[in-house]
Amino acid sequence: MVAAPAIGATRTQRMVRRGLVPLLPLLSIVPALGIASLIIWAAGVNPADAVRELIAGAFGDRFGIGVTAIRTIPLMITGLGVAVGIRVGLWNLGGEGQIYMGALTATVLGLYILPGASGALGIAILVLAGFLGGGVWGLIPGVLRAYRGVNEVITTLLMSFVAINSVTVILHAFLQDPTSSYAASPLLSDGLKLPILLPRTEFHAGFVIGLILAGLLFVAFRYSDIGLELRAVGSNQKAARFAGIPVRRRLIQAMVVSGGLAGIAGAVEILGLHHRLAVGFSPGYGFDAVAVALLGGADPRFVPFAAVFLGSLSAGAPAMERGLGLPSEFIPLTEGLIVLFVVAAYGLRSRLQQRMALEGGGLSP
């Protein structure tokens, strides 16, 4: 339906709309939290108490900060990966599988191919291995999308499940630690552990790696030629092609980086936290990373904040449960509500912006 010109809209109205509309996605968090508060209240808990317990649990003491950090790190790195995909218009939903592949390659290399390696060099090699593992898992959907037009939403999802199951099989068959009763590989050598940043916690240097990656991505997107081309591809593929940009190659490269980052996240989880590959070591970070990327506006500057936000939610939840009897499943519920409202807001915003553009007396499309 073509929007009718807003004859009679006052200058103030138009100014308010112009200012308010772009902020819609941010504002949409309010109704989401409002509904969450209602649910909390219906469960017999004072929402203010819940927030207090949550913050205390996530940031109140050394232990809490440590837990928040270890939840944040994989979310940040994988979230950056998803954000890279979003920038070129691709949806990488296979983060979970790519995390597993990265963890697998890092573990195998660390245990069997370079067992003597240690220190910064050894860690760097293993992180690179993680990038390769995840990158290959991003490459395949990327190629299918670039050359066959196969929707990457579907392929990344499917390949994710293939990866998770394959890694489990490989773990059981080849990597199982005979001395352990868990389904896990032997421990990596001490030289291959990431340093701890906060003593007496498990807050490891993966956080720094994440921030460095965020910085690199920001610089690359803003200031490099490839970054410009990727943004162009994300904006308008046809126009980019006419401008001589090798669209297919860029799409594939973006998918490789996207998957590779998730792979790094997997490797970092192993090197920094678990020090061995175990079944189910990732509780769905790959999917949560999509929420992180979205909340961060697919911008490397904001993704770390979004990661801290979601990480602190999941870190504070047990405290909320212990202190108030509020089941911790409330957290994914709230997360989902927030993403739901944000998605709706993005869509609504583009609708309103279109209508406003028409009203502005511009040329009709």
Binding site for other proteins (CB under 8 A): 1-2, 39, 43, 91, 93, 140, 144, 148, 150-151, 153-155, 157-159, 161-162, 165-166, 168-169, 172-173, 287, 290-291, 294, 327, 329-337, 339-340, 343-348, 350-351, 354, 365
User: Closer to other proteins at the Cβ: 31 or 115?
Assistant: 31
Burial class, 38, CB count within 10 angstroms (exposed 0-12 / middle 13-18 / buried 19+):
exposed
Using the 8-state DSSP alphabet, how is residue 198 labeled?
S
- Radius of gyration of the chain, Cα coordinates, nearest whole angstrom: 22
- Least Cβ distance, residue 323 to other proteins (angstroms): 16
- Least Cβ distance, residue 358 to other proteins (angstroms): 10
User: Closer to other proteins at the Cβ: 203 or 341?
Assistant: 341
User: Closer to other proteins at the Cβ: 195 or 336?
Assistant: 336
User: Closer to other proteins at the Cβ: 56 or 154?
Assistant: 154
User: Closer to other proteins at the Cβ: 68 or 334?
Assistant: 334
- Least Cβ distance, residue 149 to other proteins (angstroms): 9
Q: Which residues of 151-168 are buried (b: 16+ CB within 10 A; e: fewer)?
A: ebeebbbebbebbbeebe
Residues listed for the chain: 365
- Least Cβ distance, residue 203 to other proteins (angstroms): 26
DSSP 240-304: HHHTT--HHHHHHHHHHHHHHHHHHHHHHIIIIIISS-BTT-SSSHHHHHHHHHHHTTT-TTTHH
- Least Cβ distance, residue 297 to other proteins (angstroms): 13
What is the residue whose two structure tokens read 């998770």?
A: 164
